[in-house]
């Protein structure tokens, strides 16, 4: 998949811009606050319908404007045109795909696969278990809409169930225990689907991740991902057919504790993914550099996985990643990028530019105060 050009109207700093891109690497070079990350934001927005900066529409709106629009022209299996239009007066966003308005996110998600690397990726390996779940959830969701629906439903069940635990614990009404049983059944049905999807994903993802890890490091280290769920250890996997029973068992064991604390204590919302490097846990023994390598390899693993699964080549966005890496690694990665497909790289640091591949397909775009010029 290639993004050939982008039209921006009143989006962030961009008043009225049309930017053509290279099918290879596009280096977006500029100082802080000049609008280079806004371009990645716009691209990610079109492909996922979500804003990765979690910005509100009014924040995206250029000063004093009453609408913004972002439009992209893609060469996909077919030529596709995606547009997001926001009007301040209606406070409404309209998505359209090939000039027809789209009401279901699933029409867009997965159709324009995208992989984003940002400095915030440190949270994947160094943050909380919730940060790791978010990473895996986002990748699995891009590969299939059923998983996303299950996640949404599961969140709803959790909210209802914790409200019920609170009501029971507050009122001491025993007649509500049968209601809790019903919610348990629903929790187990949807929760087990999520667990099985995550199990399958880690298994399918591993080869893509290993390959990515090897090409990033150039070494033969064994990088591993273990998925732990329903209180099992790293090595004792629970067969898919046993998951529902095990889930129910744990709910029974922890029922009193759940009622006392009014919190959902069992289920995939408490899962953990454990990263290992040559069999030792990365979280405990990993150096800063090893963490960084892991994060980059996870993202490239995501790229290869989505490419294989969706049969479309994802677009890669690198936000300020080169600034953080040593120069040697940066040039090694930029060599790899050339083989991968279309990439957008933001860079503040001009000193790194000299290390980059200036082969003729790559494009250097200077970004200054919402204006793009070709270098």
How far is CA 252 from its chain centroid?
Answer: 34
By rule CB under 8 A, what count of residues binds another protein?
A: 54
Our finding on whether 262 is near another protein (CB under 8 A) is: no
**SS3 assignment for 247-269:** HHHHHHHCHHHHHHHCCCCCCHH
Our finding on whether 54 is near another protein (CB under 8 A) is: yes
Using the contact rule CB under 8 A, the part of the chain among 112-120, 193-201, 301-309, 342-350 near another protein is 112-120
Please state the closest distance from residue 328 (CB atom) to another protein, in A: 27
Q: Which is nearer to another protein, 186 or 254 (CB)?
A: 186
CA–CA dist 98, 319 (Å, integer): 28
Please state the closest distance from residue 51 (CB atom) to another protein, in A: 7
- Binding another protein by CB under 8 A: which of 98, 163, 335, 336? 163
Please state the closest distance from residue 92 (CB atom) to another protein, in A: 11
CA–CA dist 88, 58 (Å, integer): 8
Using the contact rule CB under 8 A, the part of the chain among 138-146, 230-238, 241-249, 336-344 near another protein is 138-146
CA dihedral sign, ordered 25, 30, 31, 35: negative
Tokens for 345, please give them.
């790289």
Our finding on whether 271 is near another protein (CB under 8 A) is: no
Alpha helices by DSSP H, 218-326: 240-253, 255-261, 282-285, 288-310
Our finding on whether 137 is near another protein (CB under 8 A) is: yes
Using the contact rule CB under 8 A, the part of the chain among 70-78, 160-168, 285-293, 366-374 near another protein is 160-168
Residues 66-105 that bind another protein (CB under 8 A): 95, 102-105
Our finding on whether 159 is near another protein (CB under 8 A) is: yes
Our finding on whether 167 is near another protein (CB under 8 A) is: yes
Our finding on whether 126 is near another protein (CB under 8 A) is: no
Using the contact rule CB under 8 A, the part of the chain among 149-157, 264-272, 273-281, 366-374 near another protein is 149-157
Give the single-character DSSP code of 97.
Answer: E
Beta bridge partners of 275: 225
Our finding on whether 49 is near another protein (CB under 8 A) is: yes
Please state the closest distance from residue 146 (CB atom) to another protein, in A: 8
Our finding on whether 164 is near another protein (CB under 8 A) is: yes
Q: Helix 129-143 to helix 288-310 angle, to the nearest 10 degrees?
A: 20
How many Cα atoms occupy the beta-carbon half-sphere of 52 within 13 Å? 26
Our finding on whether 157 is near another protein (CB under 8 A) is: yes
Our finding on whether 106 is near another protein (CB under 8 A) is: yes
CA–CA dist 274, 281 (Å, integer): 7
Q: Within 10 Å of residue 38's Cβ, how many Cβ atoms? A: 24
Please state the closest distance from residue 311 (CB atom) to another protein, in A: 21
Residues 176-235 that bind another protein (CB under 8 A): 176, 178-179, 181-183, 185-186
- Binding another protein by CB under 8 A: which of 69, 76, 96, 160? 160
- Binding another protein by CB under 8 A: which of 71, 80, 121, 193? 121
227 contact partners, CB below 8 Å, separation of at least 6: 198, 199, 202, 271, 272, 273, 274
Largest pairwise CA distance in the chain: 74
Interstrand relation of 100-101 and 92-97 (parallel, antiparallel or unpaired)? antiparallel
Q: How far apart are the first and last CA of the chain?
A: 25
Closest among 232, 234, 320, 226 to 274, alpha carbons compared = 226
Interface ranges with another protein (CB under 8 A):
44, 48-54, 95, 102-106, 109, 116, 118, 120-121, 123-124, 127, 131, 134-135, 137-138, 141-142, 145-146, 148-149, 151-153, 155-157, 159-161, 163-164, 167, 175-176, 178-179, 181-183, 185-186
């Amino acid at each position: 998949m290639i993004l050939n050009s982008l039209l921006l109207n009143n989006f962030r700093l961009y008043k009225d811009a049309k930017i053509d891109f290279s099918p290879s690497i596009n280096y977006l070079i500029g100082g802080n606050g000049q609008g280079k990350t806004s371009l990645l934001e716009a691209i990610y927005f079109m492909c996922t319908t979500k804003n990765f900066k979690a910005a509100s529409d009014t924040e995206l709106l250029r000063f004093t404007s009453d609408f913004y629009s972002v439009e992209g022209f893609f060469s996909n299996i077919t030529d596709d045109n995606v547009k997001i239009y926001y009007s301040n007066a209606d406070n409404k966003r309209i998505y359209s795909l090939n000039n027809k308005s789209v009401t279901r996110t699933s029409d867009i998600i997965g159709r324009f696969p995208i992989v984003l690397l940002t400095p915030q990726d440190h949270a994947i390996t160094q943050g909380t278990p919730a940060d790791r779940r978010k990473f895996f959830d986002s990748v699995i969701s891009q590969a299939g809409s059923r998983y996303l629906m299950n996640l949404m439903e599961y969140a709803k069940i959790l909210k209802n169930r914790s409200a019920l635990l609170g009501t029971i614990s507050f009122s001491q009404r025993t007649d509500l225990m049968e209601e809790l049983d019903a919610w348990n059944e629903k929790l187990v049905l949807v929760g087990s689907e999520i667990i099985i999807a995550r199990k399958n994903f880690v298994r399918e993802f591993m080869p893509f991740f290993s390959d990515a890890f090897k090409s990033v490091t150039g070494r033969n280290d064994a990088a591993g991902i273990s998925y732990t769920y329903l209180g099992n250890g790293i090595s004792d996997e629970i067969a898919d057919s046993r998951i529902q029973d095990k889930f129910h068992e744990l709910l029974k064991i922890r029922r009193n504790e759940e009622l006392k604390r009014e919190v959902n204590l069992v289920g995939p919302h408490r899962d953990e993914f454990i990263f290992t490097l040559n069999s030792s846990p990365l979280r405990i023994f990993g150096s800063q550099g090893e963490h960084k390598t892991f994060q980059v390899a996870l993202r490239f693993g995501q790229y290869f996985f989505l490419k294989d699964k969706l049969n479309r080549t994802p677009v890669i966005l690198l936000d300020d990643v080169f600034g953080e890496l040593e120069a040697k690694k940066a040039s090694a990665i930029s060599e790899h990028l050339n083989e991968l497909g279309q990439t957008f790289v933001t860079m503040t640091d001009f000193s790194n530019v000299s290390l980059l591949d200036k082969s003729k397909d790559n494009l250097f775009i200077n970004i200054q105060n919402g204006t793009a010029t070709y270098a």
